[in-house]
Structure 1
């Protein structure tokens, strides 16, 4: 396999909501919007080059060894033994904010790996691409976890079971589940958010959390929205991380008044998510939250989306 099958390809990969409020580091789902795009084109000379990055305000490196997209593409080609034969140029188009708690680095990494795999004629399955995605997360934030990259790559809702090896389970998606996302434009670095988390927790709190996770997974399988609402409560991580997010508890009150199933932090924040049955409550919640934040002088972005069950997709190829 010394030549690329395709000449060029454009790929979209979705943003993700990690943790699903109560499932820290083990649950996550993909959304239709926002997401990132990668345009990848074959070149005469071997090697991986980042030609351009749009939408990052100059924050991301063009160095192919330091950018998560190009670094993972290089790992992929080395795995196939083609790093000295294949050359590609990459344009990265960021449609989502960096450091948003929406899996920005994950979406870019997944888009890049899906693009190079498409150019090569898809020799690897999504499951075989996953370890490269996780290495991209390690490069981006120092912790190689899958709660963002798993749903971004696989689509839908994913559960990461701990233990030896990588055990990712796709869960069914209740048809009416909708996420209303608000990104307050404040800085909450993932590394800082992780450092606040306690290494030890009270057994009584752990038992509550275990019950909530089990209830949430059961509710998802049964499309029992009342059970989902009762279960999607976080007693371990949210109380600490909420400190970093301005107006968090006021946003939560507003969302609950709008009639959502649950409200919490997306990933490490500062994005927050109002999860609802149907579009109406989610839209009502994010509109009211945005109005409140604007009144406090905090700019924000909002997105309302059903769960993305497809994951990355090819937008064009030739």
Structure 2
């Protein structure tokens, strides 16, 4: 491993890092799901000298200083535990728009540490990688949350039972189609957190706990009806939805079109809906297109499925 680091033109890998849907309506900060589309593409190479060099292939004007960049902060955490001197070059082709609510910062954070771990011979576990990548989320939002990071690294649907200590549970689920609309407005995660109530009523908390338990049980029992009934948020969504034009219209009409349910993806502005059949998911996409066309807001839609592999090394150079 040390030879690779010190050899000119050190080896590199290309990684696809998927978008993620955090919260899954009722599971604020504890549930997350990886998507097949969209995905960031990252190339990470070992450097001859210690340190991190970051380049971007997009026009988002994201920082290149490692401590200010989510991928850089994640790699710094990994390097701190690696102990040996090592350096990385990171080239990011960001296809998940920052501020979309689709785990853009998580994709960069997770993709960077998955690539680095591969280059070093996979000395770290997936749980370790989540721990490192959470440092990127802290740069992005000020909070070390893992509801995007965990599914991005593990794939599928994950439950974060605890952050400190980290306790991640992978959940099984029946086949599900995911329809996403991303209105081309920005909702910053840090801003979306600031408007949340600091305290909730006990009766609301009890209802929320029931929905989280029902959703997890629905996934594991392959019970589409239970999944649909449990996709209800009585704490976060009523506050955050006011930041997203057309939200109530999209949600109601999507369910009328046959969707099981859905809600805000992460902190928004993207909205996701789950469907049992592909034709329903495509019908939901038409609903979303109609709502935002009438509102005159630019948007992008995806009809996709759950990504069970997570961030994946696809090419070794």
Superposition pairs for residues 15-164 of structure 1, below 5 Å?
15-50=19-54, 52-55=55-58, 57-82=59-84, 85-162=85-162, 164=164
How far residue 280 of structure 1 moved from its aligned partner, in angstroms, is 1.6
Q: Higher mean Cα deviation, 287-296 or 9-18?
A: 287-296
Kindly indicate whether the alpha-carbon contact (under 8 Å) linking 2:162 and 2:168 is maintained by their aligned counterparts in 1. Answer: no
Q: Distance in 2 between the 1:3 and 1:258 partners?
A: 58
| TM-score, L = length of structure 1 | 0.95
How far residue 122 of structure 1 moved from its aligned partner, in angstroms, is 0.9
| TM-score, L = length of structure 2 | 0.95
Residue in structure 1 matched with residue 247 of structure 2 by the alignment: 248
Residue in structure 1 matched with residue 167 of structure 2 by the alignment: 167
Q: Distance in 2 between the 1:3 and 1:135 partners?
A: 28
SS at match of 1:3: helix
Q: Distance in 1 between the 2:122 and 2:222 partners?
A: 34
How far residue 88 of structure 1 moved from its aligned partner, in angstroms, is 2.2
How far residue 140 of structure 1 moved from its aligned partner, in angstroms, is 1.4
Q: Distance in 1 between the 2:178 and 2:242 partners?
A: 23
Q: Higher mean Cα deviation, 185-194 or 141-150?
A: 185-194
Residue in structure 1 matched with residue 185 of structure 2 by the alignment: 186
Q: Distance in 2 between the 1:132 and 1:163 partners?
A: 12
How far residue 39 of structure 1 moved from its aligned partner, in angstroms, is 0.4
Residue in structure 1 matched with residue 13 of structure 2 by the alignment: 9
Q: Distance in 2 between the 1:112 and 1:265 partners?
A: 26
Q: Distance in 2 between the 1:78 and 1:215 partners?
A: 40
Q: Distance in 2 between the 1:206 and 1:302 partners?
A: 33
After superposition, the C-alpha distances for 1:267-314 in whole angstroms (9 at most, x for unaligned) are: 100000011112221121122212220221101011111111110111
CA RMSD of aligned residues (A): 1.4
How far residue 163 of structure 1 moved from its aligned partner, in angstroms, is 6.8
Cα distance, 1:231–1:182 mapped onto 2, change above 3 Å: same
How far residue 66 of structure 1 moved from its aligned partner, in angstroms, is 1.2
How far residue 154 of structure 1 moved from its aligned partner, in angstroms, is 0.6
Q: Distance in 1 between the 2:120 and 2:95 partners?
A: 26
Kindly indicate whether the alpha-carbon contact (under 8 Å) linking 2:24 and 2:262 is maintained by their aligned counterparts in 1. Answer: no
Q: Distance in 1 between the 2:50 and 2:240 partners?
A: 45
Kindly indicate whether the alpha-carbon contact (under 8 Å) linking 2:27 and 2:212 is maintained by their aligned counterparts in 1. Answer: yes
How far residue 252 of structure 1 moved from its aligned partner, in angstroms, is 1.1
Q: Distance in 1 between the 2:292 and 2:82 partners?
A: 49
SS at match of 1:21: coil
Residue in structure 1 matched with residue 257 of structure 2 by the alignment: 258
Q: Does 1:239 align with 2:241?
A: no
Kindly indicate whether the alpha-carbon contact (under 8 Å) linking 1:3 and 1:86 is maintained by their aligned counterparts in 2. Answer: no
Kindly indicate whether the alpha-carbon contact (under 8 Å) linking 2:99 and 2:186 is maintained by their aligned counterparts in 1. Answer: yes
Please list every run of at least 4 consecutive aligned residues from structure 1 whose deviation after the TM superposition is greater than 6 angstroms. Answer: none
Q: Distance in 1 between the 2:11 and 2:225 partners?
A: 50
